[in-house]
Amino acid sequence: FFLSLKLENKIKGKLQKQVCQVVLDHFEKQYTTELGDTWSSVRDVLTSPLCWQYAILLNKFSRCTELENSLCVEGYHPAFQGGLPYLPAAFKCYIRRTPGRFPAQKHQAGKLKEYYLLNAASLLPVLALEVKDGEDVLDLCAAPGGKSVAVLQCACPGHFHCNEYDDLRSRWLEQTIESFIPDPLINLIMLSKLDGRQIGDLKPELYDKVLVDAPCSNDRSWLFSSDTHQATRRLIQRKELSYLQFQLLRSAIKALRPGGSLVYSTCTLSKAENSDVINLILSSCSDVMPVDMSEMAKAVSQEFAFLGGMQQHELLVLPEKGRAWGPMYVAKLKKI
């Protein structure tokens, strides 16, 4: 009886997750133009949550050997095995070819979680940042905290500043840090709720590495908007996002030390929020230069599908069946 009830509720949940036609129609027009023939296969994955493949990022501060063994039994294998230029030994992520989601762990005060469920493509910005021990790092738009947690799996920064302007998302970030990071290390992390557009003026040339995982038109979640009016408002406001992203990037560049690196990322396919923003920054800021990421793309080409024709300093992960899903845009710059 309980099994049939559980199955019934699961089916109901799937049926309730309906694609928002207003958003899909908008995407059809935009992405048919921007992606061409690729859009039809991308659309099929984006609109089918059962195709999404969740990765498992292990928490080195609460590592469990039994968990790794059980993951292997269930068909998971280590991600990022293709000779990446930067892959710390302590950084462990597992994926599998078949879609599915591993059970999530609930937040328990005083107890660290063993793993973080996420889209594997969202780890590419962190690996592109190449954080080393002792470096001063800024995560400008840090909530919900997955990339901040991933940074700490890679290295121990000298100073780690995690910022989130939105009050609700800031509390989410705080809970994520508490769930994954032990007390001694938490004391080295500074959480703030500053306007990211002002951080560059408040903290000029203070950081060696800056991650700008910018607010964007999240294609996956927008497609399943339950409120048509809200979806329509979002699509109207979408035009304003690129200017906000440009302002955040300009602020991040000011906060970066000369010789430091910056990674910009979004989870949208939109050219206006991706390449166009980076091109505008490169044409208007004389103190930054693009950094070639083609070696990184080559190393992970078995796990991710990338849009062709991109410049060497940028990647766009396309959702594709049998691959670790996106979308995820990543661009890397260096301050001169």
Please, are residues 120 and 148 in contact by the beta-carbon 8 Å criterion?
no
Has 145 been labeled as part of a binding site?
A: yes
Q: How far is CA 113 from CA 105, 147, 151, 185, 335, in A?
A: 7, 15, 16, 15, 36
Has 121 been labeled as part of a binding site?
A: no
Q: Characterize 94-119 residue by residue with b for buried, 16 or more Cβ atoms within 10 angstroms of its Cβ, and e for exposed.
A: bbbeebeebeebeeeeeebbbbbebb
Which runs of consecutive H residues, i.e. helices, occur in the chain?
2-16, 21-35, 38-46, 65-73, 124-129, 146-154, 167-180, 183-186, 196-202, 219-223, 228-255, 275-284, 294-299
Has 309 been labeled as part of a binding site?
A: no
Angle of helix 146-154 relative to helix 167-180, nearest 10 degrees, comes to: 30
* Cα 306 from chain centroid (whole Å): 15
Has 44 been labeled as part of a binding site?
A: no
DSSP character string of 276-323: HHHHHHHHH-TTEEE---HHHHHHTTTT-EE-TT--TTEEEEEP-TTS
State the Cα–Cα distance between residues 315 and 333, nearest whole angstrom.
13
Has 193 been labeled as part of a binding site?
A: no
- Identified catalytic residue from 20, 93, 162, 267: 267
Has 141 been labeled as part of a binding site?
A: yes
Query: Is 267 tagged catalytic?
Result: yes
Has 195 been labeled as part of a binding site?
A: yes
Angle of helix 275-284 relative to helix 228-255, nearest 10 degrees, comes to: 30
Has 147 been labeled as part of a binding site?
A: yes
Phi-psi domain of 83 (left: phi exceeds 0; alpha: psi -120 through 50; beta: other): left
Q: How far is CA 6 from CA 1, 12, 18, 50, 100, in A?
A: 9, 10, 20, 17, 17
Please identify every residue annotated as catalytic: 267
Q: Residues marked as binding?
A: 141-147, 164, 195, 213
Q: Residues marked as binding for S-adenosyl-L-methionine?
A: 141-147, 164, 195, 213
